[in-house]
Amino acid sequence: MKPRLTEAPAWCAALIFGAMTLNYLDRSILSVLIVPMKAELKLSDTDIGWLLGFGFALVYAALGIPLARLADRIGRPRVVGAGMLVWSAATVACGLAAAFAPLLLARVGVGIGEAAGTAPAVALVGDRYPKARRPFILGIVNAGSSLGTSLGLALGGYIAHLYGWRVAFFAAGAPGLLLGLVIMATLRERRADASAAAMPSVLASAAFVLKQRAILLTLAGSAFIGMILMALIAWSPSYFARVQRLDLSTIGYTLGLVKGVAGVGGAVAGGWLAARLARRDERWQAGLPAAAALLLCPAFAVFLTAHEPAPAFAALGLAMGLLSATLGPIYAIYQCTAPAALRSQVCALHVLVASLGLGAGPLLVGTLNDSVFAARGALALQASLWVLVPAAAAAAACFAAAAQVLRKDSLNAERQEASA
């Protein structure tokens, strides 16, 4: 008897792909709306850094692990769907804000909802596919992050140009209200051990993770990747407005197209290549992110020194493709170095650590704009973004070190799961 569509792994992957898309759409749309919002609400670059960075990331990071444990206890589909309802409603609330404080509170709401919808969502997909296919499948699912960023920039800029920035927030938040209900209604927990009795304690979970050097090193590399990714998402529209002197509509459309094609292509290609190489040597699950992070350094050099928009867009597209190529392999590392009962929590730990980077990137660049490089005026942003080059080199070093211990830690996770 054929299983129902809603029980098929592909159905789960498709819904989580949609959730990832809306997650990053709602997260990133603010960046393309900075120009009109800054003028109307009289915001500084530091204010914007808080809105795009720690105003979102601190709560997103702090709630990741508690919500992952809740998901393991009551069921991941419930928590993922409820999280979508919260972050979508908070995105709509951003469009109602009349000052910095309520806008910051709305961004906190987005962070609360998205904390519930990231780690459990990835673990839902990982549990439905065998180890050999996970880098590719998770690469496809994480391509939703690039697609969402692209749609946020393209549609956000287009809608804001026609109807204003408030309507752009309304349009971004509405679809998630429907998809959240669909996830809650149609997905079911598949793990046999999905119960409070089977779930390790916080101390036992922490003790295991601290022994897994591959996890710790991947977490460190992910913090730098998060810093780079969110800094680019947050400040690249302003970079092209201030340095390249382009209008908002052109920036939104072009960045949306560049980041969408490069991001989705990079995520799928990175997952496919990592899966193919890992069949011969599983250390490539960390080796590929190391190589991608190292290649970011020359890509940023071209981006920040280009005198014309075309090569700058091309270099930024390459950088986004390389960043996206790391996502599937990174999540696959957690899936193979943690037993099934710990995967949501390890993914949530990734969210916690990566969120420190997500928050630090926009705020660091914004603060450098307003302080160290303030005298450069419109060109301050160009100078501040050079901080991404050493961050990329540090990420590459972390992933390269993780590759050296990945095989041992993967075997350790298998023994832990067998003895549970």
- Cα gap 96→306, rounded to integer Å: 38
**Rounded (10°) angle between helices 134-163 and 165-186:** 150
pLDDT at 328: 80
pLDDT band at 3 (very low <50, low <70, confident <90, very high): low
Q: How far apart are CA 387 and CA 297, in angstroms?
A: 11
Spell out the SS3 assignment of the chain.
CCCCHHHCHHHHHHHHHHHHHHHHHHHHHHHHCHHHHHHHHCCCHHHHHHHHCHHHHHHHHHHHHHHHHHHHHHCHHHHHHHHHHHHHHHHHHHCCCCCHHHHHHHHHHHHHHHHHHCHHHHHHHHCCCCHHHHHHHHHHHHHHHHHHHHHHHHHHHHHHHHHCHHHHHHHHHHHHHHHHHHHHHHCCCCCCCCCCCCCCCHHHHHHHHHHCHHHHHHHHHHHHHHHHHHHHHHHHHHHHHHCCCCCHHHHHHHHHHHHHHHHHHHHHHHHHHHHHHHCCCCCHHHHHHHHHHHHHHHHHHHHHHCCCHHHHHHHHHHHHHHHHHCHHHHHHHHHHHCCHHHHHHHHHHHHHHHHHHHHHHHHHHHHHHHCCCHHHHHHHHHHHHHHHHHHHHHHHHHHHHHHHHHHHHHHHHHHHHHHC
Cα→Cα distances 139→143, 268, 292, 349, Å: 6, 5, 14, 19
Structural domain includes residue 2: no
What is the chain's alpha carbon radius of gyration, rounded to the nearest angstrom? 20
Better pLDDT: 137 or 295: 295
Nearest to 397 by CA among 305, 295, 290: 290
Using pLDDT thresholds of 50, 70 and 90, give the confidence band for residue 192.
very low
What's CA 82's distance to the chain center, in Å? 19
Least confident of 240-244, 314-318, 339-343: 339-343
Q: Is residue 379 part of a domain?
A: yes
If pLDDT is split at 50, 70 and 90, which confidence band does 384 have? confident
Q: How far apart are CA 59 and CA 225, in angstroms?
A: 19
Residues 19 and 144 sit within 8 Å (Cβ to Cβ): yes
Residue 132 · residue 275 · CB < 8 Å:
yes
Domain-located, residue 149: yes
Neighbouring C-beta atoms of residue 164, cutoff 10 Å: 15
Average pLDDT over residues 84-94: 93
Q: Is residue 44 in a domain?
A: yes
* C-beta separation of 305 from 169 below 8 A: no
Q: Does residue 351 lie in a domain region? A: yes
22-26, 128-132, 394-398 — which one is most confidently predicted on average? 394-398
Six-digit token string for 280: 């011969």
Question: 194 in a domain, yes or no?
Answer: no
- Domain at 147, CATH number: 1.20.1250.20
Query: Quick one: what percent of the chain has pLDDT higher than 90?
Result: 21
Nearest in space to 401 (alpha carbons), one of 293, 327, 276, 304: 293
Digit-coded pLDDT (tens) for 279-332: 888 888 888 999 999 999 999 999 998 888 889 899 999 999 999 899 888 888
What's the structural domain count of the chain?
A: 1
pLDDT, tens only, 22-38: 988 888 788 778 878 88
1 located within any domain: no
Rounded to the nearest angstrom, the gap between the alpha carbon of residue 379 and the centroid of all alpha carbons in its chain is 28
Structural domain boundaries, residue 241: 7-189+199-419
Q: What is the mean pLDDT of residues 270-274?
A: 84
Instruction: Flag whether 94 is in a domain.
Output: yes
- Higher pLDDT: 205 or 120? It is 120
For residue 193, is pLDDT > 50?
no
